[in-house]
Structure 1
Amino acid sequence: MRDFIQGLPKVELHLHIEGTLEPDLMFELAQRNGVHIPFSTPEQVRAAYDFHNLQSFLDIYYQGANVLIHEQDFYDLTWAYLQHCHADNVIHTEIFFDPQTHTDRGVAFATVINGISRALADGREQLGISSELIMCFLRHLDEASAFATLEMALPYRDKIIAVGLDSSEQGNPPEKFARVFAKAREAGFLTVAHAGEEGTADNIRDAMSLLGVSRVDHGVACSQDEALMNELAANRMPLTVCPLSNTRLKVFDKMSEHNITDLLRRGLCVTINSDDPAYFGGYMTDNFMAVAEALPLNHKELAQFTLNAIEASFITDAAKQQLAERTCAYLAQHS
């Protein structure tokens, strides 16, 4: 099974680039930029990655981001992630970035997006990995900050395919950002949002109705609502599920309790993603393996996760057809 999964073409739709900051690179950048971090070794950082909920993860996540200051830092961060993609046979990725995490520290928006975009361009040319970039608003901050961030993004419309919503779901419902998302859609951005991770199924409904999202990030709480599950299946509303993240943050106590197999077999457009792999212990192959080892899935079902992700991606129909044919050809070889 590992050999099949390793070679399976993969498409990632839920990846926070700041969440790929591995301890070794964190230390390298801290030294390069003269930034103090409260750890003496990379091993101490790894030991701190023992989370009991989303907030305990976010506390260290934002702390680690302090080492990212210069354009080259963001390039190096993104390039390191693309190397993992290459090793895991990820053929297309759609990456989240959180500008407010950096602009609130005095780092220019241009510094962030130019470093990431330059690495993505090199990834396309040197590694053959296609990509899109999604800008997320931090939902624990206020609406005014989100509007200001949207204004910063407008000159870079050619580099950003969509806007999203991440950070603490509890206490920050979708309606808090309904006006910002409306303006983003008017400006031509697609929209996505985290919903139904720590929050309830109602947040999924509100993300669709109030934010006009093209896909729901996480969305595993949909199983609380039978009617919602039927609606998601009928509409093929994509869910970008992150299995290792869900277990590390105690959304599910263990992988064998995860609902991803049930969602797939109910006909939902569910996908596998790595979320914040440096913090949650696994990139794409690791997430596929964790699901396959804990839950009964055959080759066709595992390949369906990729086909669903291709369907849900923000690429052209022609590009989708090409990636789907590549995936189906691989499956046929291993039937």
Structure 2
Amino acid sequence: MSEAEKARAATIFDVARLAGVSHQTVSRVLNDLPNVRPATRDRVERAITQLRYVPSQAARALVTRRSRTIGLITTGAPDFGPSSTALHFNEAAREARYAVIMSSMLETDPASLRAAAEMLVRQNVEAVVLVAAHRSALEAVQGVELGVPLVAVASQGAAIAHRVTIDQFEGARRAVSHLVELGHRDIRHLAGPTDSLDASERDRGWRDVLAANGLDAVEPLIGDWTPASGYRLGARLATDASSTAVFVANDQMALGVIHALADAGRRVPEDVSIVAFDDIPEAEHFSPPLTTVRQDFDQLGRDAMSTVLTLLGDEQAENPPMRVPTLMVRASTAEVSRMPEVSRTTAAVAGSSGSRRGRRS
């Protein structure tokens, strides 16, 4: 292909890729609109010159017309957190007079996720928001050039330029610190799936608090977020008389754990204290009402939309601050001193010998 043919073949997306910006930023430069930083404008102009880009009639329509549409990709099962975030993102977009095109994916293999993102771009969305439940979802989009801003809702992902999140690590630290303050020394953990970004951060917070207090971290049991897995693994936890507290990675699994403990004749919180994560609407109506970590999914969805709007006006915009969740203390946790004598004795023995144990479940 000759240089002239290359120039004629160049598109606004080619310019955007070469300059490292979105096609909306190229549009603003071509139309001499404000809200483009001088350094960014210079990169775009150099890319236009290098590619000898001349807008076609179709490209001019793209330059001068905004679709006011955002693409939203949700991954994994329709669990409470991701579903609530998507709902509130849609509400925030509607209030900003944007439409949302959604693509929901249960499985997140790289090829399918990239295809979903490219499909949204072909529908002329101004940005793409990815609600990433699993590590594989983030890995699939890292380094992919869409030509539009990409915002990830994810608790990890340093390689993603624009990300909004709730601090899962700090939330877990607050939950486990609460148990330590109540006098518990043998604190088990029922974790979420190994590929889950949130589960990994909650596991890390649990380990951090135990290490800071000189307590052993018995290898956690791994659930799948469902009450059924909580019940199955809770039955195993019920056989461990030395354990006086469990940090459960989400409320649904905690429901199953409480059920399993009750079936085994162990009471919550008299025999075992339970603290969980999410604060689903039903949590305060568990029996007993559940101590859990509340996440503000309303604000998270709005943070995602706010970031999109900021990026559409300024390619170099910074991410919003990480939100810190709130511990909601209810009746499922209690001081060790309030537990029956046999449980207090067991807990004391477990605590004094904890440094000598290296158990694995």
Same fold (TM over 0.5): no
TM-score by length of 1: 0.30
The structure where helix makes up a greater share of residues is 1
- Give the structure, 1 or 2, with the largest relative contact order (CA under 8 Å, sep 6 or more): 1
Please say which structure displays the higher CA radius of gyration.
2
